[in-house]
Amino acid sequence: MALSAAAIYLMITVFTCVLLLSALPGIIGERSGKERAALHKAALQSVADDEFDELWEGGERIAYGVMIASSPTRYAIYDHNLKAVRVVSSSDVELRGRPKL
């Protein structure tokens, strides 16, 4: 039995509305995330040079910036020179920092 044109129109309309409503949280979340990331990046870039930490390996400085997180096996640092976050293995790496008073 064939569906009437009104029933088909109704199904297409409901499907389109559900699809648009389901995409809304993603769009809102993406916009909010971009704004929050921009705030975090600005905060990291505004840190004074005398507050930076350094990662050294074999007598050579491999990273210079703000320490974000650390674990027994890795360091996450915002590298001021690269303007990006780096994750560095902590094996054979020395962390040097200035005292924060």
Q: What is the CATH number of the domain that holds 83?
A: 2.30.30
**What digits encode the pLDDT tens for the residues 4-18?**
888 889 999 999 999
Q: Which residues contact 87 (CB under 8 A, 6 or more apart)?
A: 74, 75, 76
Residue 40 sits in the same domain as residue 69: no
CA nearest neighbour of 66 among 97, 101, 33, 99? 97
Residues 89 and 56 in one domain: yes
For residues 3 and 37, membership in a common domain is answered with yes
Find the domain containing 28 and state its range: 1-46
Query: Could you tell me if 69 and 92 lie in one domain?
Result: yes
pTM to 2 decimals?
Answer: 0.63
Q: Are residues 91 and 53 in the same domain?
A: yes
Task: Identify the pLDDT of residue 101.
Answer: 61
Q: Are residues 7 and 42 in the same domain?
A: yes
Q: Which distant-in-sequence residues (6+ apart) come within 8 Å of 71 by Cβ? A: 90
Domain co-membership, 21 together with 36: yes
Could you tell me the pLDDT band of residue 73, with boundaries at 50, 70 and 90? very high
**Domain identity same for 82 and 70:** yes
What confidence score (pLDDT) does residue 22 get?
93
Number of domains the chain is built from? 2
Same-domain status, 38 and 5 = yes
Cα(57)–Cα(68) distance, integer angstroms: 19
- Per the rule left: phi > 0, alpha: psi between -120 and 50, beta: everything else, 100 is beta
**With 0-12 CB in 10 A as exposed, 13-18 as middle and 19+ as buried, what is 55?**
buried
Do 87 and 53 lie in a common domain? yes
Q: Confidence class of residue 1 from pLDDT cuts 50, 70 and 90?
A: low
What 8-state DSSP symbol labels residue 50?
G
